[in-house]
Amino acid sequence: MNLLLEGARMAWENLWNNKLRSVLTLLGVAIGIGSTVSLLGMGFGFKEEIFREFESVGRNMIMVFPNIFMETGEKLEPLTEADRRSIAAVCRDGIEEIVPFIFGDQAMVRYLKEKTAPQVTGTAPGFLEIQGLKLENGRFLTEADLSTGRKVVVLDWRVKEKLFGRINPVGKMVTLYGEKYQVIGVIEKKISSISFGTDTNGMNLYLPVTTLQRVMKFKDYYGLYITVSSLAETETISKMINGLMAKKYGPKHGFQVFSTEELLKALQIVTGVITALLGMIGGIALLVGGIGIMNIMLVTVMERINEIGIRKAIGAKNTNILWQFITEAVALCLLGGALGTGFGFAVGFFIKKHTPLRLVITPGLVGTAFLFATGVGLFFGAFPAWKAAKMDPIEALRFE
């Protein structure tokens, strides 16, 4: 233990005596560790973001969308009211709610002199929960709005801000598609980077699906959101719906039926791959830093051949010399690791402040980084240290 401590002290003295060189060398490791920490942190952050998003939506959801990746020449089929009914009938037990939606043509919505062009979606009650959205004010669409095709709209916070500013819009009349609509509710801001069907960074306006069908002269649906009573049933129900669609439109039907659970699994694989790739890039930077350590340690050993001879002559064992140089390499790497982790935190803070991305730097990640730094020091310091330890004392003493 005493010798370990002495080794560390000697290592520190030597590093201190060669300040500039030490700093430049450990910078290499610092950049390696720093980029590994921040890149992996970014990967973890992305993964966590996706999980959070799914938690807010609920995992037991199935989406039926027209296949946008269809080969050319195939006809894009709309979902009919009959489809909706047969899905509801076949899967009656497991399904909680079916929320259909269609999109309206791009149009201006006006209030007095203010105007804007949001995405217009016609939908039904339950949409809010499925999207994980909350009301800031008023109410959302009801069955009564749908059955009578009422001319009412729900705005999201961006549209509301644009048209009304600080005024409470509930009860006010807006103009859309040349008709007057009454505002019944406002949806509050949601911070999110992914979504299902709605553009969270854009502007959205919602009205009863029946009302929009009339305006668009369109009697079918673009797609359905289906909530299932339990997670266990999503897979069976998703298969049943697929079967239903195949029966009606043929096996190569133009619909995508998938559950959030499946989507989550797919995304997990994707984010896992992304994280691994990011980690690999960091790893390459770390490798370069490690080679820098080895290089400088070889130089240090060559410069100190005489010192090695002196130490051996007065009683240093080969292991003492080995340990001395390995300690130096590891100390360099640990200092680099500390600096790099600091870098990583700084980058994380910067990214959090200036972009929607988030960095997740866990104690585990920091611990791994330090473990890696030590490993790099051991690995790349071993050969130079071994060279030093193996030197013949007389030749080392005579070396000028």
Partner 1 sequence: MIRVEKLDKIYKNGVLEVQALFEINLAIQAGEFVAIMGPSGSGKSTLMNILGCLDRSTNGSYRLNGVEVGDLNDNELAEIRNKEIGFIFQTFNLLPRSTALQNVELPMIYAGVRRGERREQAMEALKLVGLGDRWHHRPNELSGGQRQRVAIARALINSPDIVLADEPTGNLDSTSGREIMMILQNLNQQGITVILVTHDEEIASYAQRIVRFRDGEIISDEPVAERTVERE
Site size toward partner 1 (CB under 8 A) is 23
> Counting contacts by CB under 8 A, is residue 20 touching partner 1?
no
> Counting contacts by CB under 8 A, is residue 314 touching partner 1?
yes
Contact 33, 347 (CB under 8 A): no
Measured from the CB atom, the residue of 134 and 317 that comes closer to partner 1 is 317
| Residues in the chain, total | 400
Residue ranges of the alpha helices (H) in the chain?
A: 2-17, 19-57, 81-90, 127-131, 143-147, 157-164, 209-216, 231-249, 260-303, 305-313, 318-354, 363-389, 393-398
The Cα-based distances of 32 to 25, 210, 295, 305 in angstroms read 11, 58, 16, 30
Question: Which two structure tokens, joined as six digits, stand for 238?
Answer: 């998703």
Stretch that binds partner 1, among 9-17, 98-106, 245-253, 379-387 (CB under 8 A): 9-17
Q: What are phi and psi of 252, to 5 degrees?
A: -100, 40
> Counting contacts by CB under 8 A, is residue 318 touching partner 1?
yes
The distance of closest approach from Cβ of residue 300 to partner 1 in the complex, given in angstroms and rounded to an integer, is: 13
Could you tell me which residues come within 8 angstroms of residue 245 by beta carbon, excluding any fewer than 6 positions away?
64, 83, 253, 255, 257
Measured from the CB atom, the residue of 73 and 315 that comes closer to partner 1 is 315
Residues 281 and 269: their CA atoms lie apart, in Å, by: 19
> Counting contacts by CB under 8 A, is residue 56 touching partner 1?
no
> Counting contacts by CB under 8 A, is residue 4 touching partner 1?
no
> Counting contacts by CB under 8 A, is residue 331 touching partner 1?
no
Question: Closest Cα to residue 91, out of 282, 278, 227, 194?
Answer: 227
Mask 177-216, x = binds partner 1 (CB under 8 A)?
A: ----------------------------------------
The distance of closest approach from Cβ of residue 383 to partner 1 in the complex, given in angstroms and rounded to an integer, is: 20
Return the residue of 156, 312, 338, 373 that touches partner 1, per CB under 8 A: 312
Using CA of residue 350, residue 353, residue 359, residue 360, what is the dihedral sign?
positive
> Counting contacts by CB under 8 A, is residue 387 touching partner 1?
no
> Counting contacts by CB under 8 A, is residue 28 touching partner 1?
no
Return the residue of 98, 128, 316, 391 that touches partner 1, per CB under 8 A: 316
Contact 88, 171 (CB under 8 A): no
> Counting contacts by CB under 8 A, is residue 6 touching partner 1?
yes
Return the residue of 319, 350, 356, 362 that touches partner 1, per CB under 8 A: 319
> Counting contacts by CB under 8 A, is residue 351 touching partner 1?
no
The distance of closest approach from Cβ of residue 24 to partner 1 in the complex, given in angstroms and rounded to an integer, is: 19
Residues 215 and 153: their CA atoms lie apart, in Å, by: 14
Return the residue of 185, 309, 336, 337 that touches partner 1, per CB under 8 A: 309
Return the residue of 158, 160, 253, 311 that touches partner 1, per CB under 8 A: 311
Could you tell me which residues come within 8 angstroms of residue 252 by beta carbon, excluding any fewer than 6 positions away?
74
> Counting contacts by CB under 8 A, is residue 355 touching partner 1?
no
Contact residues: partner 1, CB under 8 A: 2-3, 6, 13-14, 17, 306-307, 309-320, 393-394, 397
